[in-house]
Structure 1
Amino acid sequence: MSSRLEKSDIAQFLFCSSILEEQVYKAYESLADRVTNIQISKLLRSIAADSKKHSLLLEVLSESVEKVNPSEIDCGKMMGDAWSKLEKLAKAEAYSTTEKLNLFELIDNMSTLESYLGEEYLSATQLILTVLSLKESGLEQDQIKSIIEWIIEDEERHVKIIQAISTTVTKGDI
């Protein structure tokens, strides 16, 4: 991408973000299926539902900026090293065994949750940069900005939920 983003760059970025959120949705669903604690499973499913919603919204936003050809998009190049790490992590969890986890096993998998925590921060940061890029490209559209801000608010809530799960499991409160 050039230093000044074009409409197609923004549309592609939003499309790639949509793909990533879909992978994260699948990963959270898989983890929720494998956790034996019902409350934690429900919390993970709430994050999964938001991630699915984000995927759909980002796809719509991408199409509203400019129609892109997904086969021509190299999300890895566009989003950098973070893309490959997050995609690999999300796919690994989504395709993991369906074996149930007890809370002690969940503690062992806390690094996975912490990686998702990083994804939540990364998603929020990338969306903020997209808002700034919209201004720079002359695409100042209040509706797009509002939707992105809603997604960022959800991502911030996800971080808090993941931190609460981590604290609860580590302390053994459940």
Structure 2
Amino acid sequence: MNNLNIEEVLEEYSDMVYRIACTQMKQQTDADDVYQEVFLRLVRNYRKIKSKEHLKYWLIRVTMNCCYSALGSSWKKHQAKYEENQLIVEPAIEKDDELEDLLEACFELNEKDRLIIHLFYFEGYSLKEIADLLEISLSATKTRLSRARDVLREKVGGNF
């Protein structure tokens, strides 16, 4: 796929990359930084992309790796915490108390559980596909998803 059209890739995958970055980073400015880094890496490495399926997988993997790097950086660890109202919250969701509670509960999950919830519910990946993306076993994927659901259920009460 050496003739990759970056504008088409941005149009098709930018929302997905940004949603994953937002889910992992919690702060809009951090998600913006990750988003930009992912597409800069794509511009630098587009020759390595073999197919459209590989492109999507590559973008998700690079987004996750950029998030992990940003979250693990010494700069991030020593930053002052943002106020709660600076978390990324969609305006339409803010008006629905149940959805707002669910979103806040998702942000309280650890980053691995947050990612599995996002990939399963928002991106529509199967457990097998998530296991492949995260490079973990299928049983570990099922366990993490189950644990994340239990935590969400406990935080928001009942079914979510």
TM over 0.5: no
TM-score (norm 2): 0.32
TM-score (norm 1): 0.30
Higher relative contact order (Cα pairs below 8 Å, separated by 6+ residues): 1
